Structure 1
Amino acid sequence: MKKIINNIKDNYKLVIAVLVIGVLLGLLFSGSSDKTVTPSNGIEGHEGHNHESEDPTTWTCSMHPQIKQDKPGKCPICAMDLIPLTTTQSSGDDVDPNEIVMSESAAKLADIQTMMVQFGVPEKSVRLQGKIHADERNVSELTARFGGRIEKLFVNFTGQTVRKGEKLATIYSPNLVTAQRELLEAISFKSSRPSLYQASRGKLKLWDLTDEQIEEIEKKGEPMLYFDMLSPISGTVTMRHVAIGDYVKEGTKLFKVVDLSKLWVMLDAYESDLPWVKINDKVEFTVQAIPGKNYEAKVTYIDPFINGSTRVAKVRAEVSNKNQQLKPEMFVNGIVTSKTAETSNKILIPKSAILWTGKRAVVYVKVPNRETPSFLYREVILGPEAGSFFVVSEGLQEHEEIAINGVFKIDAASQLIGLPSMMNPGGGAAPTGHNHGDVATDHSQHKMKSFDVDSKFKKQLTSFYNDYLSLTKAFVTSDPVQVKSAADALLPKLKTINMDLLKGDAHMAWMADLKVLESKLITIVGEKNIDKQRTAFAPFNQALYKSVKSFGLDKVTTYYQFCPMANGDKGAYWFSNSEEIQNPYFGEMMLGCGEVKETIK
């Protein structure tokens, strides 16, 4: 013990140094702990930091904004992919309070794409249907200028070709004989009473006698008992109203001759097509009777009136027909590739950039000079449709940048945080649901998700589609009994489609479409009124369109067609295996009303 004490005495300086260092370290850690538990000193400890709140993300549905989840997935209502709700309003003195900002990750997930607004020359290919007609300027109707009896006929059947000046018939007329005798008597007074002579000669000319025939009468000094009716033009006899021995009165129709060497192509143009059709535009057309043959003509006339029943204006083009291949009343499918009547440059934007409501057209303009993507709600006034573009009449300036993809997701995010949006232009609290009533149905605004499915399922869906065509044909007849029968036969076909062949999202998508298809077919079968059947047919076709786009058809090309006047002027779609329009919503009333909106191969 004594030895230990002596060692401490010898090294007391080292011991003191160790004790001092220990006290200082204790004070240092004690001070750090005090700062953690004392908020008044303004220093926050490590325990007060929350890692989980650094970047919280809420996932929502663009169609049903009331759905909110803390992780990605599917909407429980419509099965659409949820999108991240990480948008916030901009803040600062130099920003618009209605500006919506999206984080880089949210913009990438929403697949936001933009483009600069530019001027361009609007062009569009307009599909028009119509018929071939005879040129009205080349039609001659022969009538009897005087009463008489048909002695001979040189035209024995309708369709016979004649040349100008060729004999059509010979007529005996007592009145004509009397008029000739008056002329012969007036010749003797030619020098003393020239007016009498000229009056007798003029009477014969009014009865269609030529100067040569009158001079021949004067030379012979005897009246002609029989008078030949001559064709005034070269062409085809399309009507023969008399036979040998018929007695005709003055004004009676005898023959109709039409020159078919030049024909009119009369096309039906809807009001939306008229801005794209102008005089001298080139028309390319085909006829079913001559497959593989393309004809060209030029627009020579546009009807100044819209037909009150068909809601179309006639567009006329002229075509040469020297080989007589084209016949009047042939159906024509024509395409007019044209620029607008106003050839100046216009602002053009893609259809995908536009959100439609019943009252407004909306785009989202990107705010320049922002670190993250920022957009502003903008209402625009649209001009005519130009293929996959629209002309903007008001609301946009050149070199502004707009969103052209993911626009609906921007609008949904704007709606959720109470900024101006498509359905709520004044801004305010987000609604609890999506109002479909004010949104016009436009399949071009929603990209259908396609699935890679079993070929057996695709063949079964194709078989159902082929049987569906019978239902469309039944609607064309406007017979509710036939429609009911066709729909009744189509119902069991739905059960032959094996949904077990689908998995995951594809299975859920088919279940949603199947519910609509089955319910609307049941409605059609249960209705006796054709109008109510057609009302159910419209949503049926929309559900079928979703299925066709999602799963595809097997070795089939179908034409998705649209009539803007159907479904109470709301517009309605249907499928056809031909480009020719056979409108199931109006039948014979307006059989040709409509256009091909999409060709699905």
Structure 2
Amino acid sequence: MGKSVVRGLVIATLLAGAASLSVPFVVNRLLPAQAETHAGAHDRGARTQPILYWRDPSGRPSWSASPTQDASGRPYLPVYDADEPPLAGVPKPAVADASRKILYYRNPMGLPDVSPTPKKDPMGMDYVPVYDGEEPTGGAIKVSLAKIQRSGVRTEPASTRVLIRPVRGVGTVKYDESRLTAVTVRSESYVEDLFVNTTGARVRAGQPLFRIYSRDIQLAQVDLNVAISAQSRGVGGLGPQPVDGAMQKLRNLGVPERHIEEVRTKGINPRTVNWVSAGDGVVIEKKIVNGQRLMPGDELYRIADLSRMWVIAEVSELDLPSIAEGMHASVTLRAYPTEPREGTVTFIYPDLRPETRTARVRIELDNPDGRLRNDMYADVVFHAGADAEPAVTVPESAVMDSGSRKVVFVSKEDGRFEPRDVRLGRQGQGYVEIRDGVAEGEAVVTTATFLIDSESNLNAALKSFVVPEQTP
């Protein structure tokens, strides 16, 4: 559809609606004196130029598609194609630069259509000439400086850094299982007195917990006294063996070493024994009452040493490959959100929870102030990659991922950008590792990458449609 056809349709529309116009609409309006002069000029070239329509000779907004006269009998003036002003929104035809070599003409709307000669698109717009030096060469894309400035294209050089990718999880504070102590007896006994009678009580190593009477312990003490007495009198040439055997029997019954030494040195036979704590800690379980009959192996107390605690964190199985024993982790208790603590991963449990598809990771924390309490909730951040080697990295925004390809645009001189296929590695802190495709120091596009990508796709399409030059 050419320019004349488009204008003819527009004029026909204007003529059809001229009577209903409520505001002045003047096309090529001339004063009456000017109209006569203009009419003469039109008459001289009337045989060589097409007439688009006829207008009112007085300049009023009145037109006709065929010759006619006004109310005074004056004929309407013809309007030729050369005299018609350009329509609003229709661009002027591109004027080719005669001093430069034209390679081909491309579609003005950016469609993948080119022509070796000037032509118009279906809307009447002229194809845009592409000069020598502006065509897409190799894999580089050329973008005008004005477009780069308007679109906010920014670049950043690829740099070497250690990528630390935070892996987050939730955890629960637990007692250190290696610091738990169970208090039991090894013979049938009876509780005669109870010194620690509440759960949660703090105890120290060597502190008496309860007093018991045990027939087996009483007989072992008698054997020790008899052996010591016989040894002192030299009866039968007895040596130290019977004494050592009697003392070992008391040790086998779990009698405290201090009590055994007192029996040996003083030669006494106490009826009861004070049972003492083996270490410092807090009573977290108590299963003994005063007067109770105790059987061998009964657990009477469970004492936990709170100087060190565990945090059992739940980590997604997708993040599990990033976790390793010895890794540092930050633990923030929800009770103390402004006081993060640093711990170390000491164990990764070998199973997954089927309900949540998470793995359990154990972190050890020192607890000198005793503020860590069992079953507290905590937020855990693992510093994955802190011990890794530095790598070439670019911002994550620089990578365009189409699913099958991962591309980075490298900035060249004169507004050119080269697409590079890259192989990615670790991610963290807003950056991604480039294992192949970009070298350290090369500037990559970090913003407006979609603009460069669209130019790349357009140039690739144009290049595929370029008509090869005919050889004579």
TM-score computed with the length of structure 2 as normaliser:
0.61
Contact residue 300 and residue 318 of structure 1 kept, 8 A: no
Choose the corresponding residue for 1:325, options 371, 383, 395: 371
* Corresponding position of 1:314: 361
Aligned to 2:204: 163
Aligned amino acid, residue 109 of structure 2: T
C-alpha displacement of 1:237: 0.5
Secondary structure of the equivalent of 1:212?
Answer: helix
Q: Secondary structure at the match of 1:51?
A: coil
Confirm whether residue 247 of structure 1 aligns to residue 293 of structure 2.
yes
Q: Does 1:116 align with 2:161?
A: no
Establish whether residue 179 from structure 1 lines up as the match of residue 224 from structure 2: no
Change (3 A) 1:146 1:58: farther
Q: Residues 259-274 of structure 1 correspond to what in structure 2 (within 5 A)? A: 259-270=305-316, 272=319
The yes-or-no answer on 1:349 pairing with 2:394 is: yes
2:109 aligns with 58
Which of 269, 272, 277 is the equivalent residue of 1:223? Answer: 269
Decide whether the 8 Å contact of 2:343 with 2:365 is kept in 1.
yes
- Equivalent runs, 1:199-598 vs 2, <5 Å: 199-270=245-316, 272=319, 275=322, 279=326, 281=328, 283=330, 285-290=331-336, 293-299=338-344, 301-303=346-348, 305=350, 307=352, 309=354, 310-322=357-369, 324-335=370-381, 340-342=386-388, 344-358=389-403, 360-366=405-411, 368-369=412-413, 371-376=414-419, 378-416=420-458
Could you report, residue by residue, the CA deviation over 1:38-58 in whole angstroms, capped at 9, with x for unpaired residues? xxxxxxxxxxxx934768642
Q: Which structure is larger by alpha-carbon Rg, 1 or 2? A: 2
- Offset of residue 364 of structure 1: 2.4
The alignment yields a C-alpha RMSD, in angstroms, of 3.8
Count residues with an aligned counterpart.
341
CA distance in 2, matches of 1:302, 1:311: 15
CA distance in 2, matches of 1:405, 1:272: 29
Please list the CA deviations of residues 459-499 of structure 1 after superposition, one character each: whole Å capped at 9, or x if unmatched. xxxxxxxxxxxxxxxxxxxxxxxxxxxxxxxxxxxxxxxxx
Counterparts of 1:127-166 in structure 2 under 5 Å?
127-166=168-207
- Alignment correspondent of 1:539: none
Task: State how far apart, in whole Å, the 1-side matches of 2:122 and 2:241 are.
Answer: 107
Q: CA shift at 1:399, angstroms?
A: 2.2
CA distance in 2, matches of 1:304, 1:397: 40
Instruction: Extract unaligned runs of 5+ from structure 1.
Output: 1-49, 61-67, 71-85, 420-426, 430-601
Q: Deviations over 1:150-179 (max 9, x none)?
A: 222222221112222111122222222222
Please say if residues 179 and 204 of structure 1, whose CA atoms lie closer than 8 Å, have aligned partners that are also in contact: yes
Q: 1:403 to 1:302 in 2, by over 3 A?
A: farther
Residue identity matched to 1:58 = M
Deviates more, 1:403-412 or 1:231-240: 403-412
CA–CA separation in structure 2 for the residues paired with 1:340 and 1:57: 53
Change (3 A) 1:69 1:348: farther
Distance 1:182 1:173, change over 3 A: same
Code of the aligned partner of 1:352: S
What is the CA-CA distance between 1:262 and the residue it aligns to? 3.4
- Distance in 2 of aligned mates of 1:306 and 1:119: 37
Alpha-carbon contact 1:115-1:402 (below 8 Å) kept = yes
Q: 1:272 to 1:158 in 2, by over 3 A?
A: same
Secondary structure in 2 matching 1:312: strand
The 8 Å contact of residues 349 and 359 in structure 2, kept in 1 or not, is answered as no
Equivalent AA in structure 2 for residue 182 of structure 1: D
Residue 315 (structure 1) shift: 4.7
Q: Distance in 2 between matches of 1:405 and 1:279?
A: 38
Q: Kindly indicate which of the two structures has a greater share of residues assigned to strand.
A: 2
Aligned positions of 1:39-58 closer than 5 A:
51-52=93-94, 57-58=108-109
1-side partners of 2:301 and 2:133: how far apart?
A: 82
CA contact (8 A) 1:154 1:169 kept: yes
Change (3 A) 1:392 1:372: closer
TM-aligned CA deviation for residue 224 of structure 1 = 2.8
Instruction: Give the drift of 1:404.
Output: 1.3
Q: Which runs of 5+ in 2 are unaligned?
A: 1-91, 97-105, 112-120, 124-129, 232-236, 466-472
Q: Deviations over 1:200-243 (max 9, x none)?
A: 21121122223431232235545332222111112210001222
More helix by share: 1
Q: How does 1:20-39 map to 2 (within 5 A)?
A: none
Whether contact under 8 Å (1:89, 1:100) holds in the other structure is no
Q: Conserved in 2, the CA contact under 8 Å of 1:58 and 1:69?
A: no
Amino acid aligned to 1:250: P
Q: Rate the CA distance shift 1:57–1:114 in 2: closer, same or farther, 3 A.
A: farther
Q: In the alignment, is the contact (CA less than 8 A) between 1:268 and 1:315 conserved in 2? A: no
Contact 1:107 1:373 in 2 (8 A): no
Q: Distance in 2 between matches of 1:90 and 1:312?
A: 57
Where 1:58 maps in the other structure, the secondary structure is coil
The whole-number CA distance in structure 2 between the counterparts of 1:69 and 1:143 is: 98
- Please give the alpha-carbon distance, in whole angstroms, between the structure 1 residues aligned to 2:281 and 2:197: 15
Q: Specify which structure has the bigger relative contact order, considering alpha-carbon pairs within 8 angstroms and separated by 6 or more residues.
A: 2
Q: Conserved in 2, the CA contact under 8 Å of 1:297 and 1:319? A: no
SS at match of 1:229: strand
Moved over 6 A (4+): none
Task: Please give the per-residue CA displacement for 1:352-393, whole angstroms capped at 9, x wherever unaligned.
Answer: 111234454332233x34x342322x3322222221111223
How much has 1:255 moved relative to structure 2?
0.5
With over 3 angstroms needed to count, the CA separation of the structure-2 counterparts of 1:147 and 1:394, relative to structure 1, is farther
Equivalent position amino acid for 2:209 in 1: L
